Structure 1
């Protein structure tokens, strides 16, 4: 071709990126590391107030309380190391064992409150008009101070009160305050705990229900499953993580029950409502035997951990079925 010899050969273009020098790589890596460290420091700066409060009001009391369990301490003189002496005292104290028995008996409220909370959550998990009002109404007892709740229910339980009148009409009670009867006092207080706590667990179960995919329930209905079968095979397995959380919270609350006892019965009558945590309170703030109280609190903590492990076992670690 004419003029072909005058054509200049163009350099070949390649898509291979130019290799970055070691100095540039080092500079870029150093800049990225500095940004990462800076972001980490900023994050910890935001968390610092919470971490300080966590150490002061949670971590330090746990370690110091554990140490006090092995000492004799009355807040006036310094703690004196006594080893296992406090635990031997508790083992021989019938009042402590009576309180521990009542605390373990209080766990009976746990399955009842969970079943009722699930039932109420299913009830209010419907797109009905005014359902928000009912959700709020169920939750009102949760945000009400237990001092107020205890006074109200103490009045309702008194002789010739509303509860006494209703039970007398049904022929279930011969008269007199349920709180003054050693055989009914603990169960009367347990009912107040049940009434006050349903709304709290209802909210948790309601969140769990709304997290379950509607398509799973609809598919089960299309396959011919009844409502009961859908609940057992779809809803209940999907609620297993929520059941674990709620059962853990309610079990721990039952073991360390105190407010209800303090406001309504003070451990009476005849020690029938005397619980392990009320024993701890009495030894610490009435008798000023802080070492003995710390030992009792340590035993309560160990029992709570054991029941927590049982809850993990029963709920299969809170893992929802796929």
Structure 2
């Protein structure tokens, strides 16, 4: 072989060795695709994360900061320590709102746990008539607060349908003060809250009932258990975890009640403001030209502590029941 040919062969070999291998290019593309696959879910979540961080996390931190200041709507205020919390427990409106919200939880939550379960048990079939009843019970859930307020204000007014019917039946001689008496307004609002929540919690129970094995009902029937005993010994144990969930949700909703009392009293919170709830008090103190944002933030913090304590107690009770 000549020297020229030998030099040409060595040059070709050197060029071949300098070329990148096809596998390396493929590996690089695989790495790029893997990086994109990793980042894509976070990019989709990013807008929601920003919204939650700005409007919930930062707002909550700002509320915590304001609770220890005497700030108002028109001035930032200065640090006052726990003065706002000391004033709370000497404020008649705060004590009244705390009492009303506590009574709301005590009176409403048991009905919210039991009544929707009974309704779900009665309408769990697949027939058309059961579908009609499910739709009818769920209808109040999709109604606006304004419509609900107009309906129940007309029904419970002194000259409304309820008092008119009771008078015609000679049950009462004078109108029942559903909307003009402190306790009448409070318990009327509780009734409306229960009416509104039945359909919503019924749907949750229907989902839980669908997961109960039908063979359990068949075995109970063979043992001679009727519908009532099947309800207590098969249905209720089968939806125990759902009952605790609904108890938690209804407790939070009852302690933070606002719409029902607001629409029934046209925003006045009853005679002399005696039907004020914690949410209504926060709204009254934290809005308007004379808003005391620091004081309203302190009330919000108290509500957070109370609701959080109730949830912790419910979780402890649930775990002990499961053990």
1:197-276 to structure 2, matched below 5 A, reads: 197-265=197-265, 266-276=268-278
Question: Which residue pairs with 2:311 in the alignment?
Answer: 308
Classify 1:172/1:317 alpha carbon distance in 2 versus 1 (closer, same or farther; 3 Å). farther
Q: Distance in 2 between matches of 1:186 and 1:173?
A: 22
Q: Distance in 2 between matches of 1:222 and 1:122?
A: 20
CA contact (8 A) 2:185 2:264 kept: no
Tell me how far 1:283 sits from its aligned partner. Answer: 0.7
Question: Which residue pairs with 1:147 in the alignment?
Answer: 146
Tell me how far 1:30 sits from its aligned partner. Answer: 9.3
Question: Which residue pairs with 1:17 in the alignment?
Answer: none
Question: Which residue pairs with 2:20 in the alignment?
Answer: none
Tell me how far 1:38 sits from its aligned partner. Answer: 3.4
Q: Distance in 1 between matches of 2:88 and 2:263?
A: 25
Tell me how far 1:292 sits from its aligned partner. Answer: 0.3
CA contact (8 A) 1:164 1:177 kept: no
Classify 1:227/1:314 alpha carbon distance in 2 versus 1 (closer, same or farther; 3 Å). farther
TM-score by length of 2: 0.84
Structure 1 residues 233-287: Cα deviation after superposition (integer angstroms, max 9, x where no partner) = 2211221221122111111111011111222112111333111111111111143
Q: Considering fraction of residues, name the structure with more helix.
A: 2
CA contact (8 A) 1:164 1:173 kept: no
Tell me how far 1:132 sits from its aligned partner. Answer: 1.7
Question: Which residue pairs with 2:131 in the alignment?
Answer: 132
Q: Distance in 2 between matches of 1:110 and 1:100?
A: 16
* Gap regions ≥5 residues in structure 1: 1-26
* Gap regions ≥5 residues in structure 2: 1-24
Question: Which residue pairs with 2:296 in the alignment?
Answer: 293
Question: Which residue pairs with 2:84 in the alignment?
Answer: 86
RMSD between aligned residues: 2.8
Structure 1 residues 39-60: Cα deviation after superposition (integer angstroms, max 9, x where no partner) = 2311111111111111122111
> Which of 248, 271, 281 is the aligned partner of 1:279?
281
TM-score by length of 1: 0.84
CA contact (8 A) 1:243 1:318 kept: no
